[in-house]
Amino acid sequence: MSNSVILDVSNFSYAYGDVQAVNNVSFTVKRGEFFSFLGPNGAGKTTVINTLITLLPMQKGTVTVAGYDLRTDRVKVRESIGIVFQQITLDKDMTVRETLDFHGDIYQMNRDNKMKRISELLALVELEEKADALVSTLSGGMKRRLEIARGLMTRPQILFLDEPTIGLDPQTRQKTWEYLRMVNQEGTTIFMTTHYMDEADILSDSIALIDHGEIIKRGTPDELKSGLGKDIIYLETSDNNSVSTRIREIPGITGIQPCDGKLLIFSGNDGALVLPGIIRAADEQGITVRSVSLKKPTMDDVFMHYTGTEIRD
């Protein structure tokens, strides 16, 4: 494994009885990268991450984490990673400081280093004024920030985050993103699973789209979006099926997909230049244009394009 690669997953598969949750998945994550596993609930994201953090046993394939083989060096893998679970896993009867102190003791941290690290992390996640408050008194956002701090106590080489902002309000989500950016900028590699398109788009250096247990596309957010073309046109008419046949003949149109009673028209050219041809094609067939809009590709469009379906909650 190259020194620049901190996570190497090759031909990984996992099944629950007859149900194939993950099917022959391969990917790598570079050291210092913010990597996102993007997909709907039930796509296989949690199975992958739970195996990588040693909660599930390896079945098929090979995985190397921070230079350690996941089958033979599970203890070393655990010492190299930090984890923030999807569900809150804090002891409500401990204070914020006690939570971090106890976690440091579990990993047998030197006391001086532990105290210094606690101070650094309380400042990082802005919980200094809550250091002696019970976890039970914290808001949902504060609890999530405390979990991020706990995951960073041992200065892990890679921090795993499973749906870190699920259930948080928009303002708290934004704040959590800020902390994750800071953590990544300090050099910690981040592996995040999410089904939030905007989250993956804003935070990630690299994204792997996963659905039905398989990786269907990989790239940077810009690469994934630009791969669809320059513009996307949403078109609703009185007869989408008939008009779509004519639209495909227009120069610059790279693809058409149905979506919620509309047509998603992917254009490799400036969308404004192909719009007149689209309107004309409908008019020549006597088809009524009910609505039309033009926008730049988003991660929602990327997922729709490669899976043929919208993200599932």
Of 72, 68, 146, nearest to 103 (Cα)?
Answer: 146
Per-residue pLDDT of 182-234, as tens digits, reads: 889 989 999 999 888 889 999 999 999 998 999 999 999 999 988 888 888 88
Which CATH number does 5-224 carry? 3.40.50.300
Distance CA 87, CA 163 (A): 9
The whole-number average pLDDT for the span 135-158 is 91
pTM: 0.83
Please give the pLDDT value at position 254: 84
Do residues 56 and 16 touch, judged by C-beta distance below 8 A?
no
Is residue 57 within 8 Å of 30, Cβ to Cβ?
no
- Kindly list the domain boundaries of the chain, sorted by start residue: 5-224, 230-296
- Domain 230-296, CATH: 3.30.70.100
Nearest to 103 by CA among 155, 65, 141: 155
User: For residue range 245-303, what is the model confidence (pLDDT) as tens digits?
Assistant: 888 888 888 888 887 788 888 887 788 888 999 999 999 999 999 999 888 888 888 88
Residue 20's closest CA among 60, 77, 63?
Answer: 60
* Among candidate residues 50, 82, 79, the one with its CA nearest the CA of residue 193: 50
SS3 186: coil
Round to whole Å and give the CA distance between 82 and 161. Answer: 9
pLDDT attached to residue 268: 79
